[in-house]
Amino acid sequence: MIKKQAAVFLDRDKTLIEDPGYLADPNEVKLLPGAADAVRRWNEAGYRVVVVTNQSGVARGLITEDQLQDIHTQLEMLLEEQDATLDAIYYCPYLDGPEAIVPKYRRDSPLRKPKPGMLLKAADDLDLDLSHSWMVGDRIEDIQAGLAAGCKTVFLTEDTEQSSEVDADFVADTLLSASDIVLNGRDEAAEQPDAPDPPPGLSTVDTAAPVQRDQLLDVLKDVRSLLQQQQRESAQRDFSLARLGATLFQIVAIAILLWGLNAFISGDEASAAIALPRFVLAGVIQLVALTLYVTDRSN
Ligand SMILES: [Mg+2]
């Protein structure tokens, strides 16, 4: 079976390019420092690189889808100039609420981050392995979408206070630092002695994948419950042995006592003399039986 490819999903504004606010002019597209280097590194490592961007400017009537297409063509061209390639760009033009003045785009869309729709659609279109994929972005919605899709996440920020409010797997200050995190994660997994050598272009972040982490936790829970069950069974087994032993010793003690009594009441002096050690023996065995009962109770 052919293994699915892993992807790095990227937010667009303030992640890949500068954000002047509802960018409408292709000439204003400016890559952030190091962005092309990061994308190229992911290309070379075999990741698919996919942009997923909310573009409510379309629903707000600030930009048309054609203009958006021109902007994305420019973005791809600027990256290509530095030998960096995007595999796909997904955008969500929809927005719910009165700010959406273009009726066609006024809706609550599953594509709009923090919902994971764009990532799921890309995974379907490009046959991606989401559990080995990453989402990188500068807003909490990016991280939420990535987590909802089962990806590892890198939150881009220089504000350490803000980073503590976001439940991302990693924090980086630039896209280039984020590429280090993603690629180091892959290298660490590849160094695991049991990890098979993956074909080029396939992610190997096995130890970091959320789905596998969940599976591991499930296995650990199963092992723990199995051990608890064994302990319970073991306790029950000890309980039965102690009880059985006590009962057997009790029966023997009574039998010897009766044997002694039989000799004692037979009348002659010789018989009475041999009754005494039988009584002593019955007493000792009775003591053993009592000890076993006590052991049983303490369990
Ligand atoms: Mg952004």
In sign, the C-alpha dihedral spanning 93, 94, 95, 98 is positive
Looking at the 3D structure of the chain, how many domains does it have?
A: 2
Domain coverage including residue 220: 216-298
Q: What is the pLDDT of residue 197?
A: 45
Distance 211 CA to ligand 1 centre (A): 26
Using the mean position of ligand 1's atoms as its centre, give its distance from the Cα of residue 73 in Å.
18
Catalytic positions are 11, 13
Say yes or no: 58 and 187 in one domain. Answer: yes
Residues 31 and 140 in one domain: yes
Q: Tell me, what's the pLDDT at 161? A: 76
Instruction: Report pLDDT digits (tens) over 53-90.
Output: 999 999 999 999 999 999 999 999 999 999 999 999 99
Report in angstroms the alpha-carbon separations of 247 from 6, 33, 274, 280, 282.
67, 84, 26, 19, 14
Q: Please give the torsion angle defined by the CA atoms of residues 51, 111, 180 and 209, in that order, rounded to the nearest 10 degrees.
A: -140
Q: Which of 159-163, 175-179, 220-224, 229-233 is predicted least confidently? A: 220-224
Of 177, 208, 239, the position where a domain reaches its end is 208
Contact 128, 6 (CB under 8 A): yes
φ and ψ of 89, to 5 deg: -130, 125
| Domain assignment of residue 2, yes or no | no
Would you state the structure tokens that stand for residue 276, as one six-digit string? 């005494």
What separation in Å is there between the alpha carbon of 238 and the centre of ligand 1?
Answer: 64
Which tokens sit at 82? Answer: 């530095």
Contacts of 42 (CB under 8 A, 6+ apart): 8, 49, 179, 182, 183
147: confidence class by pLDDT, cuts 50, 70, 90: very high
**Per-residue pLDDT band at 241 (split at 50, 70, 90):** confident
pLDDT score recorded for residue 180: 96
Alpha helices in 25-116, H assignment, sequence order: 35-45, 65-80
Evaluated on CA atoms 162, 166, 170, 175, the torsion sign reads negative
Q: State which of 158, 178, 208 marks the end of a domain.
A: 208
Query: ∠126-142-64 over CA atoms, to 5°?
Result: 75
Residue 87 CA to residue 96 CA, distance in Å, equals 29
For ligand 1, the distance from its centroid to the CA atom of residue 15, given in whole angstroms, is: 6
Q: How confident is the model at residue 232 (pLDDT cuts 50, 70, 90)?
A: low
Identify the CA nearest to 119 among candidates 49, 19, 58.
Answer: 49
Over pLDDT 70: what percentage of the chain?
79
SS3 helix, strand, coil % of the chain, rounded to 5? Answer: 55, 10, 35
Using pLDDT thresholds of 50, 70 and 90, give the confidence band for residue 228.
Answer: low
Which DSSP state fits 203? -
Find out whether 88 and 133 touch, Cβ atoms under 8 Å. no
Mean pLDDT across 161-185: 90
Q: What pLDDT does 261 receive? A: 75
- Same structural domain, 107 and 236: no
Residue that finishes a domain, picked among 176, 208, 240: 208
Same domain, 172 and 258: no
| Average pLDDT value for the chain | 83
What CATH number is attached to the domain comprising 89? 3.40.50.1000
Indicate if 232 and 200 belong to the same structural domain: no
Residue 293 has pLDDT above 80, yes or no: no
On whether both 186 and 100 belong to a single domain, the answer is: yes
Q: Distance, CA 187 to ligand 1 centroid (Å)?
A: 28
Say if 116 falls within a structural domain.
yes
- Whether residue 185 is found in the same domain as residue 232: no
pLDDT of the residue at 263: 80
CA separation for the pair 173, 157 (Å, rounded): 5
- Distance from residue 32's CA to the centre of ligand 1 (Å): 12
